[in-house]
Amino acid sequence: MASVAGTVPMEKSFYEEKGRHSGLLAWLLSTDHKRIGIMYLISMTTFFLVGVAIGVLMRLELISPGETIMGAQTYNSLFTLHGVIMIFLFIIPGIPAAFGNFFLPLQIGAKDVAFPRLNLLSYWLYLIGVTIALSSLFTGPGPADTGWTFYAPYSLRTGTNVTLAVLAAFVLGFSSILTGLNFITTMHRMRAPGMTFFKMPLFCWSLYATGWIQILATPILGITLALVMVERLIGVGVFDPVKGGDPVLYQHLFWIYSHPAVYIMVLPAMGVLTEIIPTFARRTIFGYKAIAFSSMAIAFVGYLVWGHHMFTSGISDTSRMAFSFLTFLVAIPSAIKVFNWLATLYKGSIDMQPPFLYGITFIILFSIGGLTGLILGSLATDIHVHDTYFVVAHFHYVMFGGTGFVFFAALHYLGPKMFGRMYNKKVAYIAWVFLFIGFNALYFTMFILGYKGMPRRYYDALPEFHTLHVIATVGSWILVTGIIIMFVNLYRGFRHGEKAGINPWGGTTLEWTVGTPPPLENFHEIPTVVHEPYYHPRNENEEEK
């Protein structure tokens, strides 16, 4: 029988294939992992921009002493909303749901994920969670003002609409669990022939580690938030001191999930960076196994460090010392990754393209964030800077400077594959300059503010902090300028830019062997894998393979 290649029009991308439904339904009812990935990407980017807007408003409030543009209560609701949106709607689904969905099957040589319908269900749950979160703003007694941590007993007592906000987080958690479950099964069952676990691209390894955290940590958050809900609705009493409950237990249960959750946020970013670095250094990754195992080590040790959020909550000295020690321990696998990336760059033939520039910014900013994390992990210094801007700065350095910048890098690196068109590279560099300057002006100032004693979550500041607050606010404007330039450039590029080739960056993994954008079934013939993922042939003749 003749190869089917002659009869089926090959170059049709998944956008052009006509499915059973058309219009918006073609997206909302599609079980194609690529369409689901793009739906996630668009939804998350939207909420990211909303979260940014709220952040800018908060900074504006702090530009001058006293009430500037909003009162204390509004400010409380805004920082809660900023946290809930950025954490639950953007950064937790984040890279796995958008880029993982799109590229995991492509990278392991599969036609889809293991459970395509479950995948669509995850997205619907995400949408339902979003709807509930939004309705919590406009219904009932007003938006929640507890901070994204929903600490008891305040979350049990406040008159604001905590119940719905918590329900939203619960539903979103369920969506996250299903994504993790789906990815792990996919990697166990659907790798192309020849692709052993140790021939998988390292992005897949990071998704694998992330999947385990999603599965094993998220249920704890689910039950904790469910308890807050039943507490508010019928008054069960497990966290309410009046009824004998222990609010510190709430903090334990909350952080048993929420500390591993920061690795849900950052591990996939490390994975994307591990893809970007060998591509633009034009050489194989240094220490493949060390990077793969360090992902798993982060996932495992990350479980055991939650107590470092509670050094000042009144836990015993023994547990504080244990948690402090474990916190130092979890820095090791992160450092292993950083050293391996640097070793990969050493003697590489580096090509400073936009994705690479955004990517290596991670190394700088994440290192600052990580090292200040050690200051917070030490008991003596943590007592001093706990609940100050120092923590806020540390968190934004690892999350925004880390995951956020890699998210941008991924948009620049993988976006042309997803949308089939290239953006303006020059503008991408300009946007980066704004982002980098704005970011550091905004958040590095916060380190200083925190060190001097500015507490977090205050809508006003003492006069001695005024100058620094002005610098931070101006920094936020520069940062936002960068974000706007970058997104406008990407949007214009992906809509009207010139067509991108099959492999615009010289990547070596399987996703660069399929059409741009990929065809509906990804691979007309499932490839057989012989090389390790980052095999860069030394001369042109070898490139044939």
Partner 1 sequence: MDHGAEFALEKHFDPIGARIGMWLFLFTELLLFGGLFLLYAIYLNKHPEDFHYASSQLNQFIGAMNTIILLTSSLTMALAVGAMHRHSRKLALFFLILTFLLAAGFLVNKYFEWGAKIHHGIYPGSEELLQHPQGEILFYGLYYTMTGLHGLHVVVGMVVMGFLFYFSVKKSHKAVSLQPHFLQPLLGKKLKLTDSKGTKIWESEEISDQISGVEVILKGKQPEDKFASNTVKFENAGLYWHLVDIIWIFLFPLFYLIAM
Binding site for partner 1 (CB under 8 A): 1, 4, 7-9, 12, 17-20, 111-112, 114-116, 118, 177, 180-182, 184-185, 188-190, 215-220, 222-224, 226-227, 230, 234-238, 243-246, 249, 253, 256, 520-521
d(CA 4, CA 344): 41
Decide if 241 contacts 191 (C-beta within 8 A). Answer: no
Of 161 and 182, nearer to partner 1 (C-beta) is: 182
Nearest approach, Cβ of residue 177 and partner 1 (Å): 5
Helical axes 425-452 vs 354-377, angle rounded to 10°: 10
Q: Which is nearer to partner 1, 183 or 434 (CB)?
A: 183
- To the nearest whole angstrom, how small is the minimum distance from the Cβ of residue 246 to partner 1? 7
Closer to partner 1 at the Cβ: 126 or 436?
126
- In the block, tokens 């949106």 appear at 85
Q: Which amino acid is at 239?
A: F
If we measure between CA atoms, which residue out of 420, 509, 403, 524 comes closest to residue 16?
420
Inter-residue contact 422 to 498 (CB < 8 Å):
yes
Which residue in 473, 369, 482, 489 sits closest to 436, CA to CA? 482
Closest distance of CB 250 from partner 1, Å: 10
Judged by beta carbon, residue 224 or residue 353, the one nearer partner 1 is 224
Structural contact between residues 280 and 505, judged by C-beta atoms closer than 8 angstroms:
yes
Give me the count of residues in the chain. 545
What's the min distance (Å) between Cβ of 251 and partner 1? 13
Q: At what angle do helices 247-281 and 317-345 cross, to 10 degrees?
A: 10
Q: How far is the CB of 256 from partner 1 (least distance, A)?
A: 8
Amino acid letter at 332? I
Which residues, 6 or more positions from 514, have their beta carbon under 8 angstroms from its beta carbon?
Answer: 106, 502, 522, 523
Which residue number, 112 or 145, has a Cβ lying nearer to partner 1?
112
The nearer residue to partner 1, 135 or 313, going by C-beta atoms, is 313
Instruction: Give 75 or 257: the residue with its C-beta nearer to partner 1.
Output: 257
Smallest gap from Cβ 216 to partner 1, in A, equals: 6
Q: How far is the CB of 283 from partner 1 (least distance, A)?
A: 35
Which of the 8 DSSP states describes residue 352? Answer: -
DSSP letter assigned to residue 62: T
